[in-house]
Amino acid sequence: MVDPIRFNPAQPIKPVQSQNSNQPKTTKASGPDFADTLAQVQNLRFSNHAQKRMEVRDINLSDDGIARLTNAVEKADKRGGKESLVMMDNLAFIVNIKDRLVITAMDSDNRGEGVFTKIDSVVFADPSTSEESADNKNI
């Protein structure tokens, strides 16, 4: 009998490189790198229901949109929100703040009667701005 091959997933796997490699070094493409985008998305999850609604309603979020939504969830969390309505441009998202889970998504054409129940907070996901300018504003 042959034992199965086992590996330790906690150990990083490094690619083998020869010391005399003539291959050109790769340069990093401009824009957000994959690890940053993945980390950002992992902070916010979308339920199957939300994914289906976004697909049917042709709602697509850019990296900036995901960042704005994540930032709004963080604001709601700091203020003690549990189930929040996040308004972003002409989109609305119901989000379970504790689980960082988007429950559903809708646009202005598909919001029914415009009545949202079982929420405890509303957050406006403003366009991204630098933190410095936000800190310098007098409210």
* pLDDT tens-digit series, residues 38-80: 555 558 999 999 999 999 999 999 999 999 999 999 999 999 9
Q: What angle do CA 53, 34, 55 make, to 5 degrees?
A: 10
Query: What pLDDT was estimated at residue 112?
Result: 83
pTM over 0.75: no
> Which residue has 């993945």 as its token pair?
38
Instruction: Please give the Cα distance from 39 to 62 (Å, whole number).
Output: 15
Residue with the larger pLDDT of the pair 14 and 80: 80
In the chain, pLDDT over 70 holds for what percent of residues?
61
At 87, which helix (H) or strand (E)?
A: strand 83-88
Residue ranges per domain, the chain?
A: 34-135
